[in-house]
Structure 1
Amino acid sequence: MTRIIPSLADISDPYDTLYCDLWGCLHNGRAPYPAAVAALQAFRAKGGRVVLLTNAPRPQAGVRAQLDRLGVPQDAWDLIASSGDAAQAGLFGGMVGRRVYHLGPAKDDGFFTDIPAEFADAPAITRVPLEEAEGIVCTGPFDDLTETPEDYRATFLYAKAKGLKLLCSNPDLVVDYGDRRIYCAGALAALYDEMGGESLYFGKPHPPIYDLARRRVIAAGFDFDPARTLAVGDGIGTDIQGGLGEGIDTLFVTGGLAVEAFGPDVEAPEAGLLRDWLDDRQITPTYAIGRLR
């Protein structure tokens, strides 16, 4: 049974590594949550390390820049592992070819231009029109404030007919940007799969991002023990499902994407509503909390 807890500090002692989601847990896309920041700072102060494990479609340099713009203090985290990082490895590994069509906004150009040193000698990736492409790289809709996956049905029919694979740099279906819900690359990739195309995923809940996070923890000189690792997030099918798949404990933040399902008090999910909601999805997080704090 999932245990509802009042604060991270109440259960943090057995853990020395935290995999913490960003959107919906640490910030809402516009501003950080002060209590979540304080919880991560306290976890680090007692000797733990915080890995920001995010399905952001940008490499870690872009994620770090966004955190700075939002005002998330750097003493709240140690390392970043993004879906963009993991997907870059697939891109430079040639999984969708070298001539690719970029489906996504200009703000995600760093996916192609911020090239890690490990891929500096890899064959070049060239962005081309869809008609000339060997594959698709999807970082999201061109305009996530107005578009839906259905706007891309014609594009996907053409891509499927050409046999193009789609590299999805962010498996999230939606995120909340302030008080507005917007579609992510995962929703477009899901439609492509539904239409008979083939999408490749690298972020949560899929293994590549966890392999990357583990390698970064070890490279930073920390020990890594799955039994002493806790995954925190508001995505039941990404953060929680991914953590369970890796054999690590999970903390479900109910005050994120599914906030309306658990009663009127965002800080205090109702136990019965939470139990029924989780039973419907046949998934059992180790812990649950209203907001990370």
Structure 2
Amino acid sequence: MKILDSVAPLAESHDGFILDIWGVLHDGERPYPGVPEALAELRARGRRIVLLSNAPRRSWTVQAALEEMGLGAGLFDGIVTSGEVAWTLLRDRTHPFFAKLGTRAFHIGPERDLSVIEGLDIALATAAGEADFVLNTGPDFAHGRQSTAPYMPMLEAAAAARLPMVCTNPDRAVMVGGQRLICAGAFADRYLELGGEVMEIGKPDPMVYETVLAALDLPPSRIVAIGDTPHTDLAGAAAIGVDAVWALTGLAGDNLGPDPSPTLLDAEAAREGVAPMAALRSLRW
């Protein structure tokens, strides 16, 4: 697999960029070196950029966090999050899975993620037995962010009550400040093992790309998606027929080491069932 040291060659071959956020733009605490400059260079050359994240919160909350890191709205054309898509589905109730849900949610996740139900006719239940469905947005600080074990009593109670689960972040893990933390997708895996029903909202489901592709308004052959996770970012790109580039920061850096060989990357891509056009050491110009 070809390994790129700069995003510049991609700016020659592509007009639209779908960029993951955590693991590509920043490490959960600060931007990776060169990211603001790379985004500015892409924008200066007229390239269209939409950020697509499996964040379990609405897009406006992610934009606010990026601005605090110095990544202002002028560096991209828009943001789409899995939380925003979930909010729309919970509001409209036209999707068959969401049409059958009630209005009482048993929330597993931190309070900061509740923007995903803001302004909706959904009340929070304090116990699984009082709820109509599980709203899974990921780990909270009280129960810890490194293991699913402390959450098993909640998951078991929800499964016993036969509650369907809405998982607003299919990621299994994320790197934050060099530390590997679990995400909502890890709970979804445990819930499936318990016999529960799960609807995951986010990459790689083509549904979450609809708004992104509409915003880019470009032929698929002129679009490239850059992400650090094969089963979400790279698989999602393949599902919608656009080129994929494997960012070697974030989870890729943690899984494969700081300087993986082309041979290792090819083997890992084959194991994951993806075929990125190249790898990128980091998003820099």
Please report the TM-score for the alignment, with normalisation by the length of structure 1: 0.88
Aligned to 1:244: 238
Give the structure, 1 or 2, with the largest relative contact order (CA under 8 Å, sep 6 or more).
Answer: 2
Pick the aligned partner of 2:113 from 108, 115, 119: 108
Measured after TM superposition, the shift of residue 289 of structure 1 is 1.1
Aligned to 1:134: 132
Aligned to 2:103: 98
**4+ residue runs of structure 1 moved beyond 6 angstroms?**
none
Q: Structure 1: which 5+ residue stretches go unaligned?
A: 116-122
Measured after TM superposition, the shift of residue 183 of structure 1 is 0.9
Aligned to 1:280: 271
Q: What is the root-mean-square deviation in Å for CA atoms of aligned residues?
A: 1.8
SS at match of 1:109: helix
CA distance in 1 between counterparts of 2:38 and 2:260 reads: 19
Measured after TM superposition, the shift of residue 138 of structure 1 is 0.8
Contact between 1:57 and 1:108, CA under 8 Å: does it hold in 2?
Answer: yes
SS at match of 1:279: helix
SS at match of 2:34: helix
Aligned to 1:291: 282
Structure 2 counterparts to residues 65-84 of structure 1, below 5 A:
65-84=64-83
Q: Residue 17 of structure 1 aligns to which amino acid in structure 2?
A: G
Aligned to 1:50: 49
In structure 2, relative to structure 1, the CA distance for the partners of 1:78 and 1:34 (3 Å cut) is: farther
CA distance in 2 between counterparts of 1:223 and 1:282 reads: 28
CA distance in 2 between counterparts of 1:227 and 1:147 reads: 39
SS at match of 1:11: helix
Q: Residue 268 of structure 2 aligns to which amino acid in structure 1?
A: W
CA distance in 1 between counterparts of 2:269 and 2:206 reads: 23
CA distance in 1 between counterparts of 2:270 and 2:217 reads: 35
Tell which deviates more after alignment, 71-80 or 237-246.
71-80
Measured after TM superposition, the shift of residue 139 of structure 1 is 0.8
Aligned to 1:120: none
Structure 2 counterparts to residues 112-123 of structure 1, below 5 A:
112-113=117-118, 115=119
1:166-198 CA distances to partner (integer Å, 9 max, x unpaired)?
101111111111021111111111111122111
In structure 2, relative to structure 1, the CA distance for the partners of 1:42 and 1:194 (3 Å cut) is: same
Q: Residue 44 of structure 1 aligns to which amino acid in structure 2?
A: R
SS at match of 2:56: coil
Aligned to 2:220: 226
CA distance in 2 between counterparts of 1:262 and 1:180 reads: 15
Measured after TM superposition, the shift of residue 246 of structure 1 is 0.9
1:254 to 2:248 alignment: yes
Measured after TM superposition, the shift of residue 12 of structure 1 is 2.0
Contact between 2:136 and 2:167, CA under 8 Å: does it hold in 1?
Answer: yes
Q: Structure 2: which 5+ residue stretches go unaligned?
A: none
Measured after TM superposition, the shift of residue 23 of structure 1 is 0.7
CA distance in 1 between counterparts of 2:111 and 2:217 reads: 38
Aligned to 1:119: none
CA distance in 2 between counterparts of 1:172 and 1:62 reads: 18
Contact between 1:269 and 1:290, CA under 8 Å: does it hold in 2?
Answer: no
Q: Residue 198 of structure 1 aligns to which amino acid in structure 2?
A: E
Aligned to 2:185: 186
Measured after TM superposition, the shift of residue 261 of structure 1 is 5.0
In structure 2, relative to structure 1, the CA distance for the partners of 1:62 and 1:175 (3 Å cut) is: same
Contact between 2:145 and 2:182, CA under 8 Å: does it hold in 1?
Answer: no
In structure 2, relative to structure 1, the CA distance for the partners of 1:273 and 1:81 (3 Å cut) is: same
1:48-91 CA distances to partner (integer Å, 9 max, x unpaired)?
11101001111111011111122223332110000101111222
* Seq. identity, %: 35
CA distance in 2 between counterparts of 1:262 and 1:149 reads: 23
CA distance in 1 between counterparts of 2:267 and 2:53 reads: 28
Please report the TM-score for the alignment, with normalisation by the length of structure 2: 0.90
SS at match of 1:291: coil
CA distance in 2 between counterparts of 1:260 and 1:174 reads: 11
CA distance in 2 between counterparts of 1:102 and 1:34 reads: 36
